[in-house]
Structure 1
Amino acid sequence: MNSLLHAALDISLCRAVTVAPAGLSHAPLPIRASRIDASLAARAWRIDLRDHLIFPGLINAHEHLHVNAVPPLHAGAPFANSYAWITAFQAHFAEPAVAAALRLPKALRLRHGALKNLLAGVTCVAHHDPWHPALDALDFPVALLRDYGWSYALGWPGYGPPAQASFAATPVGRPWMIHLAEGTDAVAQAELAQLDRLGCLAANSVLVHGVGLRAADVDRVIASGAALVWCPTSNHNLLGHTLDPQRLCAAGRLALGSDSRLSGARDLLEEMRGIAARGELAPAEILALATTAAARILRLPDRGKLVPGAQADLVIVEDRGGAARSLTDLGRSEIRAVVRDGVPCIADPDFAEWFAVAGVDTVPVMLDGRPKLLAAHLAEPDLLALEPGLEPVAARNAPGRERVAEAWCH
C-alpha cells in the first residue's frame, strides 16, 4: 500500500445509504486519513454508491484466531462443560490432520484467522489468547482489541494469567475477559459466584459464553455493570444448549463472538444468520451485537458506528431491502466491499479504481464461487491455501460488473 497516498486521500461515498444507530441516512459519507470526516473535501475522490448500504465494520468480540484451520472434535453427545470437551480433545491432538495443522507457523495461523474474519466483514477482533508478535504487523488483516486484561477460565488455571492477578492488573477503563459458566452442569453454574468471591466481577468484566447462568446470575451480571459475549453456535455444538440472550441484550450488556471454527460457526455472518433463523433476536438487535454494543462493551469508542471521527471501517452491500439492512441474510461472497481505514481490502472487481487510487495492488480471487479483488498483501499463497472457498485466479478470468462501474462519479 502507498501509505503517503493513503494518508492524503479524501474520499466521498456519494449518494450512499448508511446504516447508523439512529437508522438509515441518505447522505454522502466523507472519509479523510482513515476516518469518517464531518465535511466533504472540495477535491475529494468520489464514488457513487446509489442502491447500496454501508455498515460499520463488524466487531468479533471473541475469537481464537490461531486455531481456525484445526479440524474440530467430532463428538456424539453434548459435553457437560467446556472442561470435559478440553479433556476429550487431548486425544484428538494425535490425529494426523490436527497435528499437521498445528505444525504450521503460528504467525501464519493467526493471519489466517484474521483473514477469515475480514472476508466476512469483520474489521476488529478480540483475540482471547496470549499476545504474539505477529499480531503487531502493520499489514495484519484486522484491527485488534488491545490493552485489555484476560484469564482463560476458572477451572483451567494452567493456561493464561491467573484470574485475580490479571483482573487486579487491568485498569478499570479497560475490558477484562474470561470464559465463564461454559456448561450446563453444577460446575458451570457455580462459576459466577466463584468469580464474585474472587472480586473479579465488575463493570469492566466481560464474561464469555455464560451458558450456565441462571436468572439470578443474569440479574447479578447486569447489576454489576458487567457484560457477556455470546457464541451460540459453539455452545450448541459443544454443549447442546445456549444462553437465552433476551435480558442481557435488552440491558445493552451482550456482544457477539464466533469463538473459532474449532467449535463454532464458519464466521460472524454465519453466526448472525443462525440467530435470525432461530428467531432468538430481531435483525437490528443482532447487528447491534456486532457493532454498537460490542464497541461499548469492549471500550472501543471509535468503532461500531458511522459518525465523524469514527474509524472508516466499512461493509458495503447492495440495498436489497429486508434482512440485508441488518446483514442477517447474507453470505460473505455477497458483500460488495470490505474497507479498513478507508481503503478496500476485498471487493467486487468493479471497485478496481478505488484500489488503484489508494495505491493498493490487488490479486484476482474467487470467493465461494464469486470473483473478487483481494489486496495483494493478503494474498500470500500459504495464507490463501488455508481458507476453504478462497482461491487465486488468472487476472484474465476475473470479470467485472459493468452496471456499477458505470456509476463511478469524479
Structure 2
Amino acid sequence: MEIFRHHFSSDTDLVGAVSLVPDGVSHAPLPVRAGRIDASPGAHAYPVDLRDHLIFPGLINAHDHLHVNGVPPLRHATPFPNSYAWISAFQSHFQDPIVVAALDVPKSLRLRHGALKNLLAGTTCVAHHDPWHPALDDADFPVALLRDYGWSYTLAGPDYGPPVRQSFAATPAGRPWLIHLAEGTDETAQAELAQLDALGCLAANTVLIHGVGLRETDIDRVIACGAAVVWCPQSNRALLGRTLDPRRLCEAGRLTMGSDSRLSGARDLLDELSMAAARDELDATSLLALVTTRAARILRLAGYGSLAVGAPADMAIVEDRGGDPADSLVGLRRSQLRAVVRDGLPRIADPDFADWFAATGVDAVAVMLDGKPKLLARSLADPALLALEPGLAFVTDATTAARRIPC
C-alpha cells in the first residue's frame, strides 16, 4: 500500500492535471490528471504545503446500509443469539415515533447522508448492501460505490433481496457476491456455512458479512475456497455480545472490514479501526490494509485502496506522527483528518487549506465538525443533509464565519 509524504500541487485547470510533488523526502511524484493518479506532473500546478503530512488512499468500507444511518438503534438488555432474533425484535421498533420520523426522510436524502457519514471519516468507496436506488447514480454522490456485484440478504428471512441460489448463479465469477452469514453465536448461525456450501454458493467470489458463528473448521473451508469475510466488530458486539477472532482470516488475506450502519454499528470506519486497535485485535498496519488493499482485492475494486498510477485520486491526509505510518491514521477521530480528497478535489479540510479549494474551483462553506472548524465543499452542504448528521453544522459565530471562502 502506497503512503506518501510530500507537497500536494493542484492545477487550476480542472480539466487538466493536478500534481503531487515531493518535498525532499525520497518519493516519486504523484501527479493527478482528470481525477486519477497519472504518470507525469502537470505544468501549472498550485502548491499546497504538506510537509510533515502523510497521504493515504481513501478508505474502503466493505459493508454499510447507507439509507439507515439516521435510524436510532434498538435498545435491548441482553445479546441476541442471532440476527434473525434481532430482526424480529426490531419490528416493534418501527412504531417508535423517532424511527417513523427518521424513515420519513426521502430515501435519496438518507442515502446521501450515509455517504456523507463515510466521506467525513476518510472513506471514499462503500459497498452498499441493499437494492440499488437511482440516487446512487447521481454524478455528485459523495462517495464511489461497489458496482456490478451480486448479493442476497440472508439464508433465512426476512423475505428481502434476491433469492440466494438464483443471485449467486447470476453473478459472474469475476465479481463479488455478498451475503450476511453466520451472524450469531447459536447453532442456527453455526450451521449456515455448511448450508451455503450445500447450495453451491461458496466460492472464491463469495463475501460473507459478519461470520461471528464460523467455527475453526468453517474458517478452514472459507480460506481453502478463497472466499472472504467482512468483519464488523462493533455491530457484532452491540447485537450479539461478541465478534469473531480476526487473526486467521487476516493472515490468510481473506478478511476486510465494514462499519455496518449506525443502526447497529460504530459511528464510522475510523471508529471501527480505533476500537479494534485499542482492543489489540490486530496491529495498525494490518487494520489499515483491511480498509485499503485487502478490501480492494476482495471486492474486485480495480485501482481503489491504492495510490498507484491509474487509481482514482481519492485520499485521506493526516499529520505525520512519526513511527509506523499506519499509526498516524489508525486511532484518529474524523475531526482530526486534515483533508479528504475525492477525484483529486478537496471535499472537507481544515480552514488553512482555503486556497486549495479556491485554486481547484471548489466552492466551500465553513462548518463545524465535532467542535472543530472545517471547510466543506458547497456541493455537499445541503442544509437538509447537514441536519441529519450529528456533530456537523454550518458556522454561525461571526468570527469563525469570517474564514468562509468568498463566492
Structure 1 length as normaliser, TM-score? 0.92
* Residue 6 (structure 2) aligns with: none
Runs of at least 4 residues off by over 4 Å? none
Question: What residue in structure 2 maps to residue 397 of structure 1?
Answer: 400
Residue number in structure 1 paired with 2:127: 126
Q: Output aligned runs, 1:10-409, within 5 Å.
A: 10-15=18-23, 26-322=27-323, 325-326=326-327, 327-394=329-396, 396-398=399-401
- After superposition, what is the alpha-carbon deviation per residue over 1:173-223, rounded to whole angstroms, capped at 9, x for unaligned? 100000000000000000000000111000000000000000000000001
CA contact (8 A) 1:115 1:141 kept: yes
**Does 1:6 pair with 2:14?**
yes
Superposed displacement of residue 353, structure 1: 1.6
Deviations 1:277-296 (A, max 9, x none): 00000100000000000000
User: Secondary structure of the equivalent of 2:39?
Assistant: coil
Shift of 1:157: 4.9
Deviation at 1:358, TM superposition (A): 1.6
Displacement of 1:38 in angstroms is 2.2
Cα offsets for 1:73-98 (capped at 9, x unmatched): 01000000000000000001111101
Tell me what 1:21 maps to: none
Q: Secondary structure at the match of 1:6?
A: coil
**Deviation digits for residues 4-40 of structure 1, max 9, x if unmatched?**
94222423344287xxxxxxx6443211111112232
SS class of match (2:72): coil
**Secondary structure at the counterpart of residue 153 of structure 1:** coil
TM-score, L = length of structure 2: 0.93
Using the alignment, how far apart are the partners of 1:150 and 1:102 within structure 2? 23
- Deviation (angstroms), 1:359: 1.3
1:216-235 alpha-carbon deviations (Å, 9 max, x no partner): 00000001110010000000
Aligned residue for 1:7, secondary structure, equals coil
Q: Do 1:10 and 1:44's aligned partners in 2 also have CA atoms closer than 8 Å?
A: yes
Asked if structure 2 preserves the Cα contact closer than 8 Å seen for 1:16 and 1:48, the reply is no
Q: Which runs of 5+ in 1 are unaligned?
A: 18-24, 401-410
Amino acid at match of 1:182: E
- For 1:397, give the aligned amino acid: T
Superposed displacement of residue 351, structure 1: 1.2
CA distance in 2 between partners of 1:124 and 1:280 (Å):
24
The alpha-carbon distance between structure 1 residues 134 and 324, as it changes in their structure 2 partners (threshold 3 A), is: same
- Give, as a single letter, the amino acid of the residue that structure 1 aligns with 2:170: A
Q: Is the 8 A contact 2:62 2:257 kept in 1?
A: yes
Q: What is the total number of aligned residue pairs between the two structures?
A: 390
Conserved 8 A contact 1:16-1:27: no
CA RMSD between the two structures:
1.6
Is the 8 Å Cα contact of residues 14 and 46 (structure 1) preserved in structure 2?
Answer: no
Of residues 152-161 and 125-134 in structure 1, the stretch that sits farther from structure 2 once superposed is 152-161
